[in-house]
Structure 1
Amino acid sequence: MTRIEQTFATLKQQNKKALIPYIMAGDPNPAVTVDLMHKLVAHGADVIEIGLPFSDPMADGSVISLAGERALANGTSTTQAVKMVGEFRKSNTTTPVLLMGYLNPVEIIGYDNFLDLCEQNGVDGLLLVDLPPNETDEVLSAKLADKNINQIFLLAPITQSERRKAVLNRGSGFIYYVSVKGVTGSKALDTDEVARQVQAIKADSDLPVCVGFGIRDGKSAKAVAKFADGVIVGSELVKNFADVGDDEAKITQAKATILAKMDELRAAIDDL
């Protein structure tokens, strides 16, 4: 059983829902990330999603795209981002870490080298946005399974039936349901429609279903947690690093704002 699977099994026993914050590796600078990961756990994170900075992130809105640009400008490579997970693992061996990124940097590093790097640094899940499930061969799936790394896929309101079947068949750990027709940070969140979609997924799969995109406060998180197994929050956290630059006081204040939001989200989804 992977760390992700164990976490969801434990949460189910406790009748709790997962809180999954997203941050960009290396944003606003590489020195911030690992410490922030530990603080996210202290403020209620069950799983941490780490963005791998990339110059052309097709699924990301402006907030996370700009975070990736800041990380790249500060010299954060894909390899360095993965090694940040290894630093985190030196004192936390229980909290699952999921990497979200794109194929191009992985192909440059090489699949086997990248997967070895992930295994060596304690990565638990991999979500490659532009790797469709029907193009994921059994060899890659087997290699991930051998390394105890879950392969996470996105499902969206407009996902066609063939792709939906492939996600349900090939995915592991949990299913990441995109709650809106848009990029990260989108504002329109129809919780009734999301509830219908999540219930339909659960009718066809035993995997936990977590909902992301469009969740920005305790109210929306609680509404989604009533029917989903977890909520994923990214842009609402990442936006706080937008204008901090290298100002340590501003960085400290931004982290405090992020952690206060975590407390709000944790309290909301626990109050069901």
Structure 2
Amino acid sequence: MSRINDTFKKCESRNRAAFVAYITAGDPDFKTSLKIVDAMASGGIDILELGVPFSDPLADGEANQLAAERAISSGMTARKVLDEAREIRKKHPKLPIVLFTYMNPIAYSGNFKSFCKKAVESGVDAILPLDLPPEEDADLRKTIEDSGLSTVGLIAPNTPKSRIPLLCKNANAFIYYVSREGVTGEGNSFTANFADSITEIKKHTDLPVVVGFGISTPDHVKAAASTGVDGVVVGSAIVRRIEAMSKGIESMSAFKIFISKLCDAAKK
């Protein structure tokens, strides 16, 4: 938790939004995934969102679905995601790591309490459980908190205002605001028309608020950062570059330059 808090405070002091980078763990394979994280850390990312690959990712678009398929094909499992987190933590002791996961792969891995405990031991700071209804998650959320993991809250454009206080109350790391309805994915156009929603959320929490979905270029990052959010998430655009690298179309050095440009654009 302190790594997450420290990161947002550092970014605020530098008048910039935290840049949050999403990748699917084990994409395209374990060793290459670690090298990709090294490149992103060198490029300046503030927070790593590490996706747990799942065969039926309902909230994800094509890019992340294919990434999950590549990772699963290479042998990645929920348990091995923690192995990757452990290796990342060794090399990047100050980089916050957030697990982005559906509940199914964790349930399949065995005991949920044990998974959370091992996640903390592996250096994971927080978890974003995508499909955990807030009205039904009291026991699981207590297990998460008792393990030492923090929780990220998820709020969408169609979330009723009446539910926002509950969603904010159930989180203790930060709030992830989904910039649009639908699934994850890139877009040629991006309209940062969610400033009012961010203001509404901040009425109910002192936690940082980040925004994601559909943000794929430095201009998109800059536009999002200008709305008053505390962080900006880019996922599918990064995953597409990883796919290109796996096919030999893009180099790791070009990938790092792309990451650096995204990070630089987070300045307010």
Match of 1:3 in 2: 3
Residue 150 in structure 1 maps to residue 150 in structure 2: yes
RMSD of aligned residue pairs (Cα, Å): 1.8
- Say if 2:177 and 2:212, in contact at 8 Å, map to a contact too: yes
Correspondences of 1:38-77 after superposition (within 5 Å): 38-77=38-77
Separation in structure 2 between the aligned mates of residue 244 and residue 11 of structure 1, nearest angstrom: 30
Residue 131 in structure 1 maps to residue 170 in structure 2: no
Match of 1:182 in 2: 182
Go from structure 1 to structure 2 and tell me whether the alpha carbon gap of 1:5 and 1:146 turns closer, same or farther (over 3 Å shift): farther
Correspondences of 1:25-104 after superposition (within 5 Å): 25-104=25-104
Greater shift, 235-244 or 61-70, is seen at 235-244
Separation in structure 2 between the aligned mates of residue 60 and residue 54 of structure 1, nearest angstrom: 10
Go from structure 1 to structure 2 and tell me whether the alpha carbon gap of 1:254 and 1:156 turns closer, same or farther (over 3 Å shift): farther
Residue 259 in structure 1 maps to residue 256 in structure 2: yes
Counting aligned pairs with the same residue, the percent is 34
- Say if 1:175 and 1:209, in contact at 8 Å, map to a contact too: yes
Q: Deviations over 1:200-234 (max 9, x none)?
A: 11122111110000111111101111121110000
TM-score (norm 1): 0.91
Q: Deviations over 1:111-130 (max 9, x none)?
A: 11111120110100101111
Deviation at 1:169, TM superposition (A): 0.8
Match of 1:222 in 2: 222
Letter of the structure 1 residue corresponding to residue 43 of structure 2: H
Match of 1:209 in 2: 209
Separation in structure 1 between the aligned mates of residue 25 and residue 239 of structure 2, nearest angstrom: 11
Separation in structure 2 between the aligned mates of residue 61 and residue 222 of structure 1, nearest angstrom: 23
Match of 2:117 in 1: 116
Letter of the structure 2 residue corresponding to residue 4 of structure 1: I
Q: Deviations over 1:50-100 (max 9, x none)?
A: 111000001000000010001101111111011101011112211100011
Deviation at 1:46, TM superposition (A): 0.6
- Say if 1:180 and 1:186, in contact at 8 Å, map to a contact too: no
Separation in structure 2 between the aligned mates of residue 189 and residue 133 of structure 1, nearest angstrom: 29
Q: Deviations over 1:153-188 (max 9, x none)?
A: 211100123432221111111100000111101536
Greater shift, 88-97 or 235-244, is seen at 235-244
TM-score (norm 2): 0.92
SS at match of 1:153: strand
- Say if 1:185 and 1:214, in contact at 8 Å, map to a contact too: yes
Match of 1:196 in 2: 196
- Say if 1:28 and 1:244, in contact at 8 Å, map to a contact too: no
SS at match of 2:98: strand
Q: Deviations over 1:102-142 (max 9, x none)?
A: 111211222111111201101001011111222221x4334
Separation in structure 1 between the aligned mates of residue 251 and residue 241 of structure 2, nearest angstrom: 5
- Say if 2:165 and 2:204, in contact at 8 Å, map to a contact too: no
Letter of the structure 2 residue corresponding to residue 263 of structure 1: S
Go from structure 1 to structure 2 and tell me whether the alpha carbon gap of 1:241 and 1:13 turns closer, same or farther (over 3 Å shift): closer
Q: List runs of 5+ in structure 2 lacking aligned partners.
A: none
- Say if 1:54 and 1:102, in contact at 8 Å, map to a contact too: yes
Deviation at 1:8, TM superposition (A): 1.2
Separation in structure 2 between the aligned mates of residue 144 and residue 13 of structure 1, nearest angstrom: 30
